[in-house]
Amino acid sequence: MGFDIRQKLAVLADAAKYDASCASSGGQKRDSRGAKGVGSVNGSGICHSYTPDGRCVSLLKILLTNYCMYDCAFCVNRVSSNVWRARFTPAEAAQLTLDFYRRNFIEGLFLSSGIIRSPDYTMEQLVETARLLREDHQFRGYIHLKTIPDADPALIARAGELADRLSCNIELPQEQSLKALAPEKRISTIRRSMASIRSQIDGHAADKSARKRRFATGQSTQMIVGADSADDSAILRTSAVLYGGYRLRRVYYSAFSPIPDASAALPLRAPPLQREHRLYQADWLLRFYGFDVEELTQATDGGMLDLNLDPKTSWALKNRALFPVDVNRAPREMLLRVPGLGVRAADRMIAARRHGALRLDDISRLASSVKKILPFITALDWTPGATLDSDRLMQKLRPEPRQLDLFSCA
Amino acid sequence: MRMIALERPDDPATFYEHAAALIAEGAAPETLSWSVGASADLFGAATPATRQKWPGEKLFSAALLHRTDTRFALVYRALWRASGDARFLENPADPDVCVLRRLEGEVRRDSHKMRAFVRFREIRDGEEARFVAWCEPSHYTLRANVDFFARRFANMRWSIVTPDLAAHYEQGEVRFAPGGTRGDVPAEDARDEDWRAYYAATFNPARLNLAAMQSHLPKKFWRNLPEAQAIAGLVRAAQNRAEAMIAAPPTAPRVERAPAPTPDAAEAQNLADLRAQLAACENCPLHRDATQTVCGAGPTNARLMIVAEQPGDQEDLAGAPLVGPAGRVFDEALRRVGCARDDIYVTNAVKHFKFTLKGKRRIHAKPSAGEIDICSWWLRREVELVRPKIIVAMGASALRGLTGETLPVRESRGKLIELAEGRRLLTTTHPAYLLRLQDEQEKRLAWRAFLDDLAQAAQLAA
């Protein structure tokens, strides 16, 4: 690999890094035995490294090119941005993926692109790269392709046959901000693209015949946080609508980050990382803890999540009448609402209480942190007494200031 | 105290064999002392019994790969207890289970880190390339992970060398050899520099968070990762790079764009134009959460027009009217009365899907009279452009959209209403109503009436 490729790689990876997704999980299981290529996917993804921003490196995340016709204000690659431009051929991108994969640097490829010539042409280039990997090199690793919403649906369908995951960024939580900041993009086109991908994924999942063609198993999207005036309630409502409508695996939240050569249309300040973190927590509550989006918006303070308190605790403090929860009797749905109690710990408690009533000792063996749970539960030898009604409970629950683990994924 | 010596530190199968024999003998856990690597004649167990399946084996087998000396005694005690009553294994709060779970978790993490952090270096091995890696796992995890690498790199020749054990793979076969040293594997690979370039470029200096990084990538791993050499420099430069980005003067967008012209719906002279205008409709808040406007579909000169309530989940995704479950009922009814859908213009009173979210599902919500009235403007334009002879209103919402009045379907059903320009309106039930009915008798009657209404409409249109 020459110096030239390395320079291009630096430019095209730098241009791709504002996409938060790095997941390599949820693909169809397969491996390279019986093929001539390399690669395997075994359900759960692997983070092969971590950069000093705490984010995982699972895939080779690059753009095929960072030339772009569009002028989206929040994007480092917009046409009006004065950054270095570069372009990989599909063959170069495929070869780089294989070279990195053979050394166990990555799980696969996350390929996106600036829009050049036309949406169809751009999509064809992405599809061609994936085709080279899958067909010519029989690559069995993970491929995530970005879909260009304006591209021909036939190209998107072809992308679905080659990739494990497709994604199409909603970019901003509100339609009016998209109109203002991304003049060439239209929310309706993005949504129609997601709808079409969902229908195809559903169709392939429902078709149990052995002859069915391989198809991507999921789609995801990303929303930029802090580039427009949308509050957390608006963001979470948009997420809930997207999860409900298009069965997304994930909505990624990306704190708007200062970029080299930023647009005058945007706030130049440090990225709101803590806000992003709270949104991820709230998103988890939506997906795994049975919370309705309206319950979460009611737990906000004028539309914004408390930066000092996790959203589940915020919700619990506003719904104290529902607590304490008896860990020996409460149904799973209610255990999941106890601040500090995760899905795994709740399930362990349910299994353990079949063997005898739970005491504090048992709970300390089952949950990772008992201190946070105590004000909200009763056990055989524990009641929280008046703490739950105390005005100082919120102060007690606020964590010591520390740098938070923003997110990890695989 | 009886000494039990195992030959290898990472061989759960042999351990189970000895454990089975010892339990059969009635050897209590407190009378045994376990070790690894002593010579075979110190071997204290009776003839290994035949291999049996143990409850909780997955947990035990992982815990047995932990580096702690107590692992054999811990697992043997659990097996001993389980030979009496194995139910404790299902109790996550049991103290023995808790300890084993902790060991299992540490081994699992160690395995995961091996899969993540092995870094192959390409060397020449005779004619062909071989990929070799040096790895220092905290526990005895190599043997258990060889299968993972063999599946992933089935067509490569590779070796993984650890201080305890080395694995060499070629064409589906794995050969194990004694452990080695770091010097057995080249320190650099031709692609390391590219990988570091990627690592540096994918890092966002504006988000520096070293604590988060180190929680996932503790320093003990750094010495075997080529990219870790770049960390110090990236961290040092990060603050300045982030500040420079914030301080740099922003660039103005290239073109000031005028807002797109708002379509004037009155100008639409054909259905294609109407459809284009409808796609941009923001007359009521329903457009905010729906995927798209669902315009009517069918021939411009259809003599029969069917009006349903609003798009549902499937219609919203597909952008076409009556294609979901109710649509299938409707199609079946058309087939029964001998009517081709291609000859009919099918549309809805409300053009956007209205729903409430229940968990991750979108549940149909009834459109309000206000929403129907706002949307009736579009419906009237469709009627004016298609000029059907007869219109069928399926359900109360359609009836409201066409008449502007809330009329009970029960009373209007099957009756003809004269409209302007000699057009006639027939009311029937919505096919979704037929799907909702529980009582079989009621359902049969409603289905019969629905078919009669459609047959009457088809006859009047002919």
Q: Are B409 and B382 in contact (CB under 8 A)?
A: no
Q: Which residues in chain B touch residue A103, judged by CB atoms under 8 angstroms apart?
A: 119-122, 131, 189, 191, 195
Closest CA in chain B for residue A243: B360
The alpha carbon of residue A391 is apart from the nearest alpha carbon of chain B, in Å, by: 32
Identity of the residue in B153, B235, B362 whose CB atom sits nearest the CB atom of A245 = B362
Pairwise CB contact (< 8 Å): A81 & B193: no
Say yes or no to pLDDT of B244 above 90. Answer: no
Q: Are B209 and A221 in contact (CB under 8 A)?
A: no
Q: Would you state the pLDDT for residue B298?
A: 95
**CA-wise closest residue to B322 among B347, B345, B289, B357:** B347
Pairwise CB contact (< 8 Å): B193 & A6: yes
Residue appearing with tokens 């209404």: B453
Q: Are B290 and B316 in contact (CB under 8 A)?
A: yes
What b-and-e string marks burial along B425-434, b requiring 16 or more CB atoms within 10 Å of the CB?
A: bbbbbbbbbb
Q: Are A157 and A123 in contact (CB under 8 A)?
A: no
The dihedral built from the CA positions of residue B311, B315, B318 and B322, taken in this order, carries a sign that is negative
Residue type, position B267, single letter: E
With cut-offs at 50, 70 and 90, classify the pLDDT of residue B250.
confident
Q: Which residues in chain B touch residue A273, judged by CB atoms under 8 angstroms apart?
A: 207, 209
Q: Which residues in chain A touch residue B204, judged by CB atoms under 8 angstroms apart?
A: 17-18, 51, 53, 55, 257
| pLDDT, tens only, B161-183 | 999 999 999 999 999 999 999 99
**CA-wise closest residue to A217 among A140, A164, A168, A146:** A164
**CA-wise closest residue to B243 among A267, A269, A14, A54:** A269
Domain ranges of chain B: 2-113, 118-184, 192-239, 268-461
Q: What is the mean pLDDT of chain B?
A: 90
Identity of the residue in B133, B216, B235 whose CB atom sits nearest the CB atom of A56 = B216
Pairwise CB contact (< 8 Å): A402 & B202: no
Q: Would you state the pLDDT for residue A39?
A: 95
Q: Considering just the CA atoms, what is the radius of gyration of chain B in Å?
A: 37
The alpha carbon of residue B171 is apart from the nearest alpha carbon of chain A, in Å, by: 10
Q: Would you state the pLDDT for residue A408?
A: 44
Q: Which residues in chain B touch residue A348, judged by CB atoms under 8 angstroms apart?
A: 92-93
Alpha helices in A211-257 (DSSP H): 232-246
Per DSSP, chain A holds a count of helices (H) and strands (E) of 15, 10
Residue type, position B245, single letter: M
Q: Would you state the pLDDT for residue B54?
A: 82
The dihedral built from the CA positions of residue A379, A380, A381 and A386, taken in this order, carries a sign that is positive
Closest CA in chain B for residue A360: B93
Pairwise CB contact (< 8 Å): A53 & B208: yes
Q: Which residues in chain A touch residue B243, judged by CB atoms under 8 angstroms apart?
A: none
Strand boundaries in A177-272, DSSP class E: 218-225, 250-255
**CA-wise closest residue to B317 among B276, B352, B272, B359:** B352
Q: How far apart are CA A197 and CA A218, in angstroms?
A: 9
Q: Would you state the pLDDT for residue B257?
A: 47
* CB contacts < 8 A (A, B): 271
Peptide bond just before B48 cis, omega within 30 deg: no
User: Which long-range CB contacts under 8 A does A115-119 form with residues at least 24 apart?
Assistant: A115/A68, A115/A69, A115/A70, A115/A148, A115/A184, A116/A65, A116/A67, A116/A68, A116/A69, A116/A87, A119/A148, A119/A149, A119/A150, A119/A151
Closest CA in chain B for residue A348: B92
Q: Token pair of B173, please? A: 């076969």
User: Helix A3-16 to helix A90-102 angle, to the nearest 10 degrees?
Assistant: 90
Closest CA in chain A for residue B95: A365
Closest CA in chain B for residue A47: B116
Pairwise CB contact (< 8 Å): B253 & A352: no
Would you give the distance in Å from CA B231 to the centre of its chain? 33
Q: Would you state the pLDDT for residue B47?
A: 56
Q: Considering just the CA atoms, what is the radius of gyration of chain A in Å?
A: 23
Task: Choose from B100, B108, B160, B204 for mutation: most chain A CBs within 10 A.
Answer: B204
Pairwise CB contact (< 8 Å): B238 & A52: yes
Pairwise CB contact (< 8 Å): B319 & A195: yes
pLDDT above 90 coverage of chain B, percent: 77
Pairwise CB contact (< 8 Å): B210 & A99: no
- Residue A104 backbone phi and psi in degrees, to 5: 65, 35
Closest CA in chain B for residue A244: B360
| pLDDT, tens only, B10-38 | 999 999 999 999 999 999 999 999 999 76
| pLDDT beneath 50, residues of chain A | 403-410
Identity of the residue in A52, A60, A262 whose CB atom sits nearest the CB atom of B245 = A262
Q: How far apart are the first and last CA of chain A?
A: 28
* Mean pLDDT of all residues in B222-248: 89
Pairwise CB contact (< 8 Å): B204 & A81: no
Pairwise CB contact (< 8 Å): A51 & B242: no
Tell me how many degrees the CA angle B104-B110-B115 measures, rounded to the nearest 5: 125
Q: How far apart are CA B405 and CA B403, in angstroms?
A: 5
With cut-offs at 50, 70 and 90, classify the pLDDT of residue B247.
confident
Q: What domains sit in chain A, N to C, each tagged with a CATH number? A: 3-262 (3.20.20.70), 311-397 (no CATH)
| pLDDT, tens only, A13-64 | 999 999 888 888 888 889 999 889 999 998 889 999 999 999 999 999 999 9
Q: How far apart are CA A148 and CA A118, in angstroms?
A: 10
Which superfamily does CATH assign the domain made up of B268-461 to? Uracil-DNA glycosylase-like domain (3.40.470.10)
The alpha carbon of residue A302 is apart from the nearest alpha carbon of chain B, in Å, by: 21
Pairwise CB contact (< 8 Å): B120 & A102: yes
Closest CA in chain A for residue B252: A264
Q: Which residues in chain A touch residue B154, judged by CB atoms under 8 angstroms apart?
A: 31-35, 38
Q: How far apart are CA B82 and CA B59, in angstroms?
A: 13
Pairwise CB contact (< 8 Å): A103 & B245: no
Q: How far apart are CA A394 and CA B440, in angstroms?
A: 56
What b-and-e string marks burial along B46-79, b requiring 16 or more CB atoms within 10 Å of the CB?
A: eeebeeeebebeebbbbbbbbbeeebbbbbbbbb
As beta bridge partners, residue B363 has B356
Per DSSP, chain B holds a count of helices (H) and strands (E) of 16, 14
Closest CA in chain B for residue A37: B155
Give SS3 for B294. coil
Q: Would you state the pLDDT for residue B39?
A: 55
Largest CA distance in chain B: 108
Say yes or no to pLDDT of B110 above 60. Answer: yes
Pairwise CB contact (< 8 Å): A102 & B253: no
H/E segment holding residue A353: helix A343-353
- Residue B80 backbone phi and psi in degrees, to 5: -60, -50
DSSP annotation of B65 reads: T
Q: Give the torsion through C-alpha atoms of A351, A353, A355, A356, to 10 deg.
A: 170
The alpha carbon of residue B405 is apart from the nearest alpha carbon of chain A, in Å, by: 32
Q: Which are the contacts of B101, defined by CB distance < 8 A and separation ≥ 6? A: B59, B92
Task: Choose from A56, A75, A104, A364 for mutation: most chain B CBs within 10 A.
Answer: A104
* Mean pLDDT of all residues in B60-67: 96
Q: Token pair of A61, please? A: 């995340």
Pairwise CB contact (< 8 Å): A191 & B121: no
Residue appearing with tokens 């990084």: B213
Cα atoms found within 13 Å of the Cα of residue A327, Cβ hemisphere only: 36
Q: Are B299 and B309 in contact (CB under 8 A)?
A: no
Pairwise CB contact (< 8 Å): A13 & B172: no
Q: Would you state the pLDDT for residue A400?
A: 61
The alpha carbon of residue A313 is apart from the nearest alpha carbon of chain B, in Å, by: 20
State how far the alpha carbon of B236 is from the alpha carbons of A4, A49, B210, B222, in Å. 26, 19, 11, 17
Q: Would you state the pLDDT for residue A406?
A: 46
Pairwise CB contact (< 8 Å): A262 & B197: no
- Residue B35 backbone phi and psi in degrees, to 5: -150, 170
Q: How far apart are CA B257 and CA B359, in angstroms?
A: 40
Say yes or no to pLDDT of B459 above 90. Answer: yes
* Mean pLDDT of all residues in B35-46: 61
Say yes or no to pLDDT of B421 above 60. Answer: yes
User: Of A32-36, B131-135, B306-310, where does mean pLDDT reach its minimum?
Assistant: A32-36
